[in-house]
Amino acid sequence: MFDTKLTRRSVLVAGATTALAMPFVRPSWAAPDTVRALMWEAYLLPDQITAFEEANKVKFVPSFFDGNSEAYNKLRVGGSKEFDLVQADGFWPQLYFREGLLRAVDYSKVPNASGYLPEFEAEAFKVLSDPQSGKKIGFPFCWGAYGITYDAGKVPPERTETLECMFSSDYSGMLSTSARFEENIALAALLVTDRLGSRDKPRPDGKPFNPYVLSDEELAEVEKLLIQQKSLLLTRYQDNPTLFQLLQSGAVVAATEFAQVFRQLLTAEAQGAAPVDFRHALKMKEGGLGWVDTWLVTSGVQDGAKFDLCNSFIDLMISPEVMKKIGEVAGCSTTVDLRSISNETERKLFLMDRSNEIADLFMFDQPSSPEKWERVWSNVQAA
């Protein structure tokens, strides 16, 4: 249930609802025919898209991608002219902006941007600012981490305060990680660089430590560590349903994942499954990996009717009532503050009171040498 008290947030909700109910009148000569978006399919809400189309007399045309690399390649090949909006996470938006694929945005043109959690407000969330010019380049949407979901009855919580947990022989045959090589390498890199004490030494790119920018020595140690871990894993899961079954059955006691299975496990318990003290660790002493999905406007959009329409669409997407639906459908935490319209269970489920932890996580990024990373992963798989 949404909070019916008259607060600033409820006014924003009412404003967005009114906008959906009252068609936006625009001179026919100025009306763009379409809004074209390159996005993750999980975030598509058909009823909201239909309402947006009817209100603005346009056609919303989505195209989908599986990962940032795919979206990046599509944008580089003329995509900034083919798409008006694009989604990305971590530091990818900064890469897009450096290569001229995005335009700067203006938060004052998107009223619902005033509803962000403190960590995601314009001045606080520097990931969506261009380091050179300081211009804002996008709007945060949903967030999460590649953390550790574990059975606290079998794995003491203090053990998950360090990444050593996922490489411990104490849980041999009862651990699991995803089959995604970038997350596995980056997470192992946090442990390796902590052990080596190499983070404060001159980095390969001359910048502060980033687990996606590793020296050859560090990559070699990561490869050794992942090969050692291989014998401790029950499996590298391919999908969330598989991991859900492994954790719920007790076959796996700790696994790295995006908190989606953690939410499914808590929901299952609320619906009558046997109670188990499942918890999710976001940040370990060596650090953690985080992601923030964002809405971005491509450089193919000029000031005027199309830019206004893109801002209106983003404003709708980050409105509280839509963000709450997004969280429920996609199973992720949102960057907009929904605590006043959420109950205690929802606040726990979607980590609403833990958003401050995002500040200490290393954002997903592009590996500095994809070829070397792929070779490391190939060697791990072949071992």
Q: CA 185, CA 332: separation in Å to the nearest integer? A: 23
Residue 221 domain-assigned? yes
* 15 and 115 co-located in one domain: yes
Residue 3 domain-assigned? no
- Residue 22 predicted with pLDDT over 80: no
* 58 and 154 co-located in one domain: no
In the predicted model, what is the mean pLDDT of residues 257-281? 94
- 8 Å CB contact between 317 and 330: no
Selection from 231, 190, 226 nearest residue 211 by Cα? 190
Residue 358 domain-assigned? no
* 122 and 151 co-located in one domain: no
* 115 and 46 co-located in one domain: yes
- 8 Å CB contact between 293 and 87: yes
* 230 and 280 co-located in one domain: yes
Q: Which domain holds residue 58?
A: 8-143+291-352
The whole-number pLDDT of residue 359 equals 84
**Where are any strands of DSSP class E within the chain?**
34-39, 59-64, 85-88, 139-145, 147-151, 175-178, 233-237, 254-257, 278-281, 289-297, 333-334, 362-363
* 230 and 375 co-located in one domain: yes
Question: Of residues 18 and 279, which shows the higher confidence score?
Answer: 279
* 86 and 152 co-located in one domain: no
Q: What is the DSSP letter of 113?
A: G
- Residue 16 predicted with pLDDT over 50: no
Selection from 338, 233, 315 nearest residue 15 by Cα? 315
Residue 154 domain-assigned? yes
In the predicted model, what is the mean pLDDT of residues 269-291? 95
* 61 and 183 co-located in one domain: no
- Number of domains composing the chain: 2
* 305 and 253 co-located in one domain: no
Orientation angle between helical segments 181-196 and 370-382, nearest 10 degrees: 90
In the predicted model, what is the mean pLDDT of residues 2-14? 27
Sequence-ordered list of residues with C-beta below 8 angstroms from that of 131, at least 6 positions apart, any chain: 94
In the predicted model, what is the mean pLDDT of residues 159-175? 98
Residue 20 domain-assigned? yes
Q: CA 313, CA 282: separation in Å to the nearest integer? A: 31
Residue 373 domain-assigned? yes
Structure tokens at 211: 């687990």
Q: What is the CATH number of the domain that holds 165?
A: 3.40.190.10
- Residue 23 predicted with pLDDT over 90: no
Q: CA 322, CA 48: separation in Å to the nearest integer? A: 8
Amino acid found at 170: D
* 129 and 159 co-located in one domain: no
* 341 and 260 co-located in one domain: no
The whole-number pLDDT of residue 32 equals 65
pLDDT classification of 4: cutoffs 50, 70, 90: very low
* 210 and 341 co-located in one domain: no
- Residue 206 predicted with pLDDT over 80: yes
The whole-number pLDDT of residue 199 equals 96
Residue 321 domain-assigned? yes
Question: Of residues 285 and 32, which shows the higher confidence score?
Answer: 285
Q: CA 285, CA 71: separation in Å to the nearest integer? A: 33
pLDDT in tens, 341-373: 999 999 999 999 999 999 889 999 889 999 999
Sequence-ordered list of residues with C-beta below 8 angstroms from that of 238, at least 6 positions apart, any chain: 179
Kindly tell me the burial class for residue 347, based on how many C-beta atoms sit within 10 Å of its own C-beta (0-12, 13-18, 19 or more). Answer: middle
Q: Which of 66-70, 190-194, 267-271, 278-282 has the lowest mean pLDDT?
A: 66-70
Q: How do 362-363 and 289-297 pair as beta strands?
A: parallel
pLDDT classification of 10: cutoffs 50, 70, 90: very low
- Residue 131 predicted with pLDDT over 60: yes
Q: Across the chain, what does the average pLDDT equal?
A: 90
Question: Of residues 7 and 256, which shows the higher confidence score?
Answer: 256
In the predicted model, what is the mean pLDDT of residues 2-26? 31
- Residue 254 predicted with pLDDT over 80: yes
Q: CA 312, CA 84: separation in Å to the nearest integer? A: 13
Cβ–Cβ contacts within 10 Å for residue 179, how many? 13
| Model pTM score | 0.82
Residue 2 domain-assigned? no
pLDDT in tens, 68-117: 889 999 999 988 889 999 999 988 999 999 999 999 999 999 999 999 99
Q: CA 301, CA 110: separation in Å to the nearest integer? A: 16
**What helix, strand, coil percent values describe the chain, rounded to 5?**
50, 15, 35
